[in-house]
Amino acid sequence: MVVLFFLAYFFLSFYILLGVILRKKEKKNTQTAYDRFYEPIVEIALNPETLRLNEIIASIKPYSRKKIGRNHKKTQRIAFMLSQIKGKFGDQINKVNFQNIQTAFGIPQFLERELLFGSDNRKILALKFIESLDAYVSEAILIRFLYHHNVELRRSARCAHMWISQTSPFRFFEEDLSTKLNLWDMIEMHYIINNRKTKGLPIPNLGKWANESIEEDMKVFFINEIKLLGFHDNCEILFKMIHTQSWRVRNVVIAALGALKCQKTEEKLIEMYPLQPEHIKQTIIQSISLIHSGDAELFLMSAYETAENQHTKLLSLDKLYNYSEKGKYLFEDLRKKALYCNDRILFEHVKCPFINSV
């Protein structure tokens, strides 16, 4: 037993020491790469003038293709560096120069080689680089991973495919209406959709998925995307969803219609208002204020008079006061009629928010 414990201690110590040495070596190599390439890359990436590939190669003096072929770590370090530069400088970067820098270091070939021959973890990392570097690889290579048995690899491949595909980037939602996304997936999806919108790449009708998706979380996600990205073409679909059974979905639909200023929905919102739960009533008041057709003063006044709690009263008074001159007149009329101290203080709070409404 003593001998066994001694041997185990020896091998464990050796393993720890080797790990320390390798980490120090990696840190040193990474720092060397940053010292050599970081400043020249940033200077070229931020240069407003478009430079030719041979000019960039002459300026940066990248690794030779033989060294890159022998050690993928070298290119991986450069990919990490470029990813950090892109994250730091964002829209300031000259996109053509940045793509040429990637070509000079052989990043596209490196990513394709990793996807074809790397381990699953290296493939996932390569797929992340495609998004962070806005790099391009052949769609034919990505397609083989879209239905991979490894869940993380499959998810990363689908995100990369949505990022670069020109043909059918969102095919998964067409094929499976029960698709589920976790919170992080939704954040990434928002970033991808917003990127495609910014670049003028085709984006499918999100309202269709909001209406047809089986998962409630997916419905809510797509409705919020329609609202945040201002897709006014989806107003008609959202209007048809206004009487959905789910209070949660109904609430986000009403909020989206208000944010998109769909005036044709105002009459329907006023009509359905009395039968809604209190939190949806508050959303209706917000939405009608945002739509701002110019004819909602009497509704806002009625919302105050029939409100069942102080928050709804305060919200309706605030929207009435800031709606129009007629709204201010009705606000003052209601203030004069207020009998109770709890109600009178709401009017003072609307005029001066620093006054506590409670």
342 & 328 share domain? yes
pLDDT tens per residue, range 76-126: 889 999 999 988 888 889 989 999 999 888 888 889 889 888 888 889 998
Q: Is residue 78 part of a domain?
A: yes
Which of 300, 325, 322 shows the shortest CA–CA distance to 312? 300
pLDDT tens per residue, range 243-275: 888 899 999 999 999 999 998 899 999 999 998
Q: What is the DSSP string of 79-138?
A: HHHHHHHHHHHGGGS-HHHHHHHHHHHTHHHHHHHHHHHS-HHHHHHHHHHHHHTT----
pLDDT tens per residue, range 165-185: 777 777 776 666 666 777 887
56 & 126 share domain? no
Q: What is the average pLDDT value for the chain, to the nearest integer? A: 85
198 & 215 share domain? no
Into how many domains does the chain fold?
4
| Position 193 pLDDT exceeds 80 | yes
Boundary of a domain, candidates 202, 234, 251: 202
More confident residue, 40 or 62: 40
Q: Is residue 288 part of a domain?
A: no
Q: Is residue 15 part of a domain?
A: no
Yes or no: say if 55 and 97 are a contact pair by the CB < 8 Å rule: no
Q: Which of 156-160, 201-205, 350-354 has the highest mean pLDDT?
A: 156-160
Looking at residue 205, the DSSP 8-state letter turns out to be -
262 & 346 share domain? no
What per-residue confidence (pLDDT) applies to 282?
A: 93
111 & 197 share domain? yes
Q: Which of 152-161, 168-177, 276-285, 347-356 has the highest mean pLDDT?
A: 276-285
188 & 243 share domain? no
112 & 194 share domain? yes
209 & 192 share domain? no
Percentage of the residues of the chain whose pLDDT score is greater than 70: 94
What per-residue confidence (pLDDT) applies to 226?
A: 92
Task: Give the range of the structural domain holding residue 357, as residue numbers without chain letter.
Answer: 294-358
pLDDT tens per residue, range 2-29: 888 888 988 998 889 988 888 888 888 8
Q: Is residue 146 part of a domain?
A: yes
Segment among 23-32, 315-324, 328-337, 347-356 with least mean pLDDT:
347-356
What per-residue confidence (pLDDT) applies to 137?
A: 81
| Position 71 pLDDT exceeds 80 | no
What per-residue confidence (pLDDT) applies to 74?
A: 85
157 & 97 share domain? no
Boundary of a domain, candidates 249, 282, 315: 282
Q: Is residue 277 part of a domain?
A: yes
How far, CA to CA in Å, does 309 sit from each of 274, 313, 343? 14, 6, 11
More confident residue, 41 or 204: 41
pLDDT (average), residues 277-285: 93
Q: Is residue 39 part of a domain?
A: yes
Boundary of a domain, candidates 57, 76, 105: 105
Q: How confident is the model at residue 288 (pLDDT cuts 50, 70, 90)?
A: very high
Q: Is residue 5 part of a domain?
A: no
What per-residue confidence (pLDDT) applies to 254?
A: 94
Looking at residue 245, the DSSP 8-state letter turns out to be S
The sign of the CA dihedral 200, 202, 208, 214 is negative
Q: Is residue 220 part of a domain?
A: yes
110 & 195 share domain? yes
> Which helix or strand (DSSP H or E) is residue 312 part of?
helix 310-321
98 & 120 share domain? no
Compute the distance between CA of residue 330 and CA of residue 346 in angstroms, rounded to an integer: 15
Q: What is the DSSP string of 138-178?
A: -HHHHHTTTT-SSHHHHHHHHHHHHHH-SS-TTHHHHH-TT
